[in-house]
Amino acid sequence: MPAVLEAKNVTKIFGGGFLSREEENVAVNNISMSLDQKNPKIIAVAGESGSGKTTLARLLLGIASPSSGSVEYDGKDLTEISRAERREFRREVQPIFQDPYGSYNPFYKVDHVLFSPVNNFKMAESRDEAVHMVNQALEMVGLVPAETLGRLPHQLSGGQRQRVMVARALLLKPRVILADEPVSAVDASLRATILDAVSRLNKELGIAVVYVTHDLTTAYQISDEIMILYKGNLVEAGNVETVIKKPQHPYTQLLIDSIPEADPNKKWGKLDMKKTQEKILTAPSVGWRK
């Protein structure tokens, strides 16, 4: 059985090319990953700005197309699928974006963002069924429908707004959810509730999740596997427990060492910055670890 969504040696190059004065910028360099159908997991794609993680997410979403390599959906190359298949792909691979406010049309109440996918994809037979579906999805992400529906986006907190976006994705019964920094624009105290909702979608509904983030602590908390990206390259990947607890690549080590942990007794920054950065330049990719 083919994977739901698979990237095969994708590379994305911006700029450069004929007549271009800009230098070539390899945003994603020869990265492969696959989302299993039978055993849906949460895969974290972690890296700092410029690591190519957002570009990789856009490739997987089909918003951008790779310079070389391919993104396959159910074993079929995204650039070659039919119109009908593409519509199906649109429904089955749902994104959650970083900005929980910009995702809302300020003109409409939050209901709009929930009911329009249901109507567009004809998910419900009747109005009552649509309302029922929306209520169920909201409850699934820990929101009370009566306190959420009928409000304008700015009347909800950042955490609520983002959970409504999770509910929106959920309504379409997707097979994959691609969450691009879903909590970085939200107060730290509200992050847990959003990530908890995402995690439940995976555990209870069997939806595969790609969690794109710069934050290793949240990645560690919710994901099964992790991919560490550095300047477009995959430097280390594998089981999240192994990678975080016993990092091998110096970049992973530096990242983990730089995280400010909420414990005054565990001081950050034990590694020597300069030496580690030199090591990163020469260290080979560690590859996939069990």
Partner 1 sequence: MTTTQKASSTKSSASKVGIEVKDLKVHYDTPDGVVKAVDGVSFSLRQGERMALVGESGSGKSTLAMALMRLTRAPGRIAGGQVIVGGQDMLDLDEEEMRLQRLNEVALVPQGAMNSLNPVMKIKNQLLDGLYDHQIRGDEKMSKEQQIEVVEKLLVAVDLAPGVAEMYPHELSGGMKQRVAIAIATSMQPRIIVADEPTSALDVVVQRNVMQTLGRLQEGLHASIILIGHDMGLVAQFSDHVGVMYAGRLVEVGPVKTVFKSPKHPYTRLLIKSLPTLSNKKDFIGIPGLPATLLNLPEGCAFCLRIGKETLTKIPWVKVDKDHYIQECKTCASYGK
Partner 2 sequence: MTTVAENTSQDLTKKSFKRRLEDFGRYVRRNPSLGVGIGLLAALLLFVIIGYATYEVERFRPLSGGPDLAPFESDPYNPGTRSGGYILGTDRQGRDVMSVMIAGIPLTLQIGLIAGLIGISVGTVLAFIAAYYGGWVDQVISTIVDVGLTIPGILILIVIAVNIQSGLSVQQMGLAVSAVAWVWPARTIRAQVLVMREQLYVEIARLSGTSGFSIMFKEMLPNLAPYIGASLVGSVASAILASVGLEALGLGPFDSPTLGMTIYWNIQFSSILHGMWWWFGPPILVLAMIFVGLFLITAGLDEWSNPRLRKRV
Pairing of strands 42-46, 208-213: parallel
From partner 2, partner 1, none, which one binds at residue 1 (CB under 5 to 8 Å depending on kind)?
none
| One of 144, 152, 188, 273 touching partner 2 (CB under 8 A) | 152
Contacting partner 2 within 6-65 (CB under 8 A)? none
99 binds partner 2 (CB under 8 A): yes
**68 vs 105, which CB is nearer to partner 2?**
105
Residue among 175 and 249 whose Cβ is closer to partner 2: 175
Among 106, 270, 281, 290, binds partner 2 (CB under 8 A): 106
Q: Residue 91 binds what, of partner 1, partner 2, none (CB under 5 to 8 Å, by partner type)?
A: partner 2
**Total Cβ atoms within 10 A of residue 144:** 11
Nearer to partner 2, 27 or 172 (CB): 172
Out of 48, 112, 206, 272, which residue is the one contacting partner 2 (CB under 8 A)? 112
Q: How far is the CB of 51 from partner 2 (least distance, A)?
A: 21
- CA pair distance 191, 198, nearest whole angstrom: 11
Least Å from the CB of residue 50 to partner 1: 9
Would you tell me which residues interact with partner 1 (CB under 8 A)? Answer: 48-49, 157-160, 187-196, 214-218, 220-221, 244, 254-256, 258-265, 267-269, 273
Residue 85 interacting with partner 2 (CB under 8 A):
no
Among 8, 41, 76, 90, contact with partner 2 (rule: CB under 8 A): 90
Smallest gap from residue 267 Cβ to partner 1 (A): 7
Q: 7 or 57: whose CB is closer to partner 1?
A: 57
The phi and psi torsions of 173 (rounded to 5 degrees) equal: 45, 55
C-alpha span between 229 and 221 (Å, rounded): 18
| Three-state DSSP state, 192 | helix
Question: What are the residue ranges of helices labelled H in the chain?
Answer: 53-61, 83-92, 110-120, 127-140, 145-148, 158-171, 188-205, 216-222, 240-245, 250-258, 273-282
Judge contact between 224 and 42, C-beta under 8 A.
Answer: yes
**14 φ/ψ angles, rounded to the nearest 5 degrees:** -105, 150
131 forms part of the interface with partner 2 (CB under 8 A): yes
**In the complex, minimum distance from the CB of residue 280 to partner 2, in angstroms, rounded to a whole number:** 33
In this structure, are residues 73 and 4 in contact, taking their beta carbons and an 8 Å threshold? yes
Report the Cα–Cα distance between both ends of the chain, in Å, rounded: 22
Residue 210 φ/ψ, nearest 5 degrees: -105, 120
Which one among 115, 211, 220, 230 touches partner 2, defined by CB under 8 A?
115
Residue 256 CA, distance from chain mean position: 20
Among partner 2, partner 1, none, the one that 103 touches (CB under a kind-dependent 5 to 8 A) is partner 2
Question: Counting contacts by CB under 8 A, is residue 117 touching partner 2?
Answer: yes
Residue 79 binding partner 2, by CB under 8 A:
no
Nearest of 216, 215, 277, 289 to residue 250 by alpha carbon: 277
- The answer to whether residues 169 and 177 touch, using CB atoms and an 8 Å cutoff, is yes
What is the contact surface with partner 2 in residues (CB under 8 A)?
A: 87, 90-91, 94-95, 97, 99, 102-109, 111-113, 115-117, 119-121, 127, 130-131, 134, 146, 149-152, 155, 168, 172
